[in-house]
Amino acid sequence: MTSQQPDTHPSSSPPNDRRVVMDDVAIGRALMRIAHEVLERCEDLERLYLVAIPNGGVPLARQLAANFKQIAGVDVIVGILDTTLYRDDLKLKGERPLLRETEMPSAVDDRVVILVDDVAKTGRTIRAAMDALMDFGRPSSVQVVGLVDRGHRELPIRLDYVGKNVPTGPGDIVHLRGNDGDPDSMLEMVILPGEHEESHPADRSEA
């Protein structure tokens, strides 16, 4: 992870081999639809607890919380949960992992927890998030939001809410581009062929 600042506007000139699969407007529409679906399924809105998987899940969870406020007038807790130390590939990588932010405002006991991720692929990140979540209590249920579902599962992880199913090659790199520290930042989901390598604070491809 570098300190290089991400591009925050879809209008910046991308390489010819970069494919934008969701622009800021499409992402906003998908998150509004997902918010309505969550509210239809949840009988007690006061028990909702959004938990973002950094980095890409953070701006998505915050937008979902804003949508809940707009639609139902409910203030939903938003937490951030680093999954790094719970991943099953730490020994394989043989390097010291870069820890990211964890910010859980309260325990998750008896809450309906909704994990929010940007890109779902193998399912290993989501499984690690579920393991990490148990350190913060015992939720009544756990649901999963994925803005983009790439397929390529290696674990039996199912998404409850999906923004868009996007067929990709196993080696492709899928990025949510934007600055997760700026609520006014433009977001876009892009695909890069696997031979390219980019790293931005708000970009992460799920593994």
pLDDT-derived band at 169 (thresholds 50, 70, 90) equals: confident
Rounded Cα distance, 79 and 48, in Å: 11
| Terminal C-alpha separation, the chain | 16
Q: Which CATH architecture has domain 23-170?
A: 3-Layer(aba) Sandwich (3.40)
pLDDT one-digit tens code per residue, 80-112: 999 988 876 665 555 666 777 899 999 999 999
* Confidence (pTM): 0.81
Per DSSP, the three-state class of 124 is helix
Q: Are 54 and 100 in contact (CB under 8 A)?
A: yes
Tens-digit pLDDT profile for residues 17-26 = 778 999 999 9
Q: What is the mean pLDDT of residues 44-65?
A: 95
Comparing 36-40, 77-81, 181-185, the range with the smallest average pLDDT is 181-185
Compute the radius of gyration of the chain from its Cα atoms.
Answer: 16
pLDDT at 9: 40
Alpha helices in 17-56 (DSSP H): 24-41
pLDDT of res. 25: 95
Strand partners, 104: none
Domain ranges of the chain: 23-170
User: Could you give the percent of the chain with pLDDT greater than 70?
Assistant: 77
Nearest Cα to 12, choosing from 206, 195, 207, 190?
A: 190
Choose from 13-17, 158-162, 182-186 the range with maximum mean pLDDT. 158-162
pLDDT digits (tens, 9 = 90+) for 105-148: 999 999 999 999 999 999 999 999 999 999 999 999 999 999 99
- Please tell me the distance from the alpha carbon of residue 87 to that of residue 95, in angstroms, as a whole number: 13
pLDDT value at 164 more than 60: yes
